[in-house]
Amino acid sequence: MCIGEVVIELARGGDGRFALGCGGDTFNTAVYLARAGNDVAFASAVGDDRYSDTVFAMAAAEGIDCTYLLRVPGRLPGLCLLDAGAQGAKRTHFWRDGSPARELFELPDWGQVAEALLGARLVFLSGITLSLYSNTGIGRVLAVLELARRNGCMVAFDGNFRPHGWNGDLGRARAVCIEALKRTDIALPAFDDEAVLWGDPSPEATVDRLQAFGIGEIAVKNGPGNALIAVATGREAVPVPEIVDPVDPMAAGDGFNAGYLAARLAGESPANAAASAHRLAGAVIRHRGSILPRAGVAVH
C-alpha cells in the first residue's frame, strides 16, 4: 500500500496550451509498482467531481486497488500547475489547502484504511505524505505503522522534503520525520533533500544519521551520482549505468523508489535493486511527465 495524495496536474506545453493529467510522488511510485506485477493499493482521498473521476480511471487502468481511495462529497482534489520558468526551469504552483487527502486519517472511514494497512506486506509513504496531515492525522498514521510492523509489515519511507509543504516550519518537519524514521525498515532518501532538512554534508553522513534510528536498509539517491546502499553487512556505491540529459527530471526519485522496492519484493539484493532503480529513473527522465507511456521500459 502507498499512502499520499493525487493532484490534478495542468502542464503548459511549448505551444502555451495546458495538458491535463494527475500525479503525486507516492501515486507515481504506486503506478510503477503495479506495472512490475505487484498487488498495489493506494490510500488517499479525493472529491466526487469529474476530475476526481479521472484519478480513479487512471488508477484502475494501471491495476491499482482503489478501495482505500476515499470519496468526499462536495470536495475537489488538489491542483498543481507546471510551467516553465527562466532558462526552461520547471516551476510548480500548488492549490491544495482544501484537498480531501489532507484529512484522510480524520475522515469517518479512516478506520478502514488503517485496517488495510495492518494487513499489508509493505507500506510506502513520504515526507510529502506526512506534510499533508494535522497533528491528529500524523498521530494516527504513526500509530498504525507501529502496529503494522508488529504484524510483519515492512515500512518504506522517502523523506522527500519540500519546504512549502511544511509552510517553512523546519522544526515540525524534523520532529515528524524523526517519528516516521523510528518506524522505518527501508529508507529511500534523496541526498539533496536531506542536506536541506538536516544539513548532511554527504551521503555517508545521511547513512550515519539514519542508521542511528536502527534502520536496517538504506538507499540514498544522489541524482546522477552513485546511490549509496547501506545494510547490516556494509555499504556499497551503485553507479548510474548511463548519464542521461533529462527531458523532464520530475518523478525521477519516484521511479527510483518503485524500481528499488519492486526488485526487493521480487527477491533481488539491495545492490541489484539499486541498479534496477537507476534504470527506471533514467527511463522516466527521458520523457515528459511523471508517468511513462505503458510501452516504456520495464520496471525491472
Q: Which residues of 51-88 are buried (b: 16+ CB within 10 A; e: fewer)?
A: ebebbbebbeebebbbebbbbbeebbbbbbbbeeeeee
pLDDT at 23: 92
pLDDT at 121: 97
Query: Tens-of-pLDDT digits for all 300 residues of the chain?
Result: 999 999 999 988 778 888 888 999 999 999 999 999 999 999 999 999 999 999 999 999 999 999 999 999 999 999 999 886 555 567 788 899 999 999 999 999 999 999 999 999 999 999 999 999 999 999 999 999 999 999 999 999 999 999 999 999 999 999 999 999 999 999 999 999 999 999 999 999 999 999 999 999 999 999 999 999 999 999 999 999 887 787 888 889 999 999 999 999 999 999 999 999 999 999 998 888 788 887 644 555
- The CATH topology of domain 2-284 is UDP-N-acetylmuramoyl-L-alanine:D-glutamate ligase (3.40.1190)
pTM beyond cutoff 0.75: yes
pLDDT at 173: 98
Residue type, 263: A
pLDDT at 82: 85
Q: Where do the domains of the chain lie?
A: 2-284
Place of cell 532558462: 87
Q: What is the 3-state secondary structure (H, E, C) of the chain?
A: CEECCCEEEEEECCCCCEEEEEECHHHHHHHHHHHCCCCCEEEEEECCCHHHHHHHHHHHHCCCECCCEEECCCCCCCEEEEEECHHHCEEEEEECCCCHHHHHHHCCCHHHHHHHHHCCCEEEEEHHHHHCCCHHHHHHHHHHHHHHHHCCCEEEEECCCCHHHHCCCHHHHHHHHHHHHCCCCEECCEHHHHHHHHCCCCHHHHHHHHHCCCCCEEEEECCCCCEEEEECCEEEEECCCCCCCCCCCCCHHHHHHHHHHHHHHCCCCHHHHHHHHHHHHHHHCCCCCCCCCCCCCCCC
pLDDT at 15: 80
Q: Please identify every residue annotated as catalytic.
A: 254
pLDDT at 91: 79
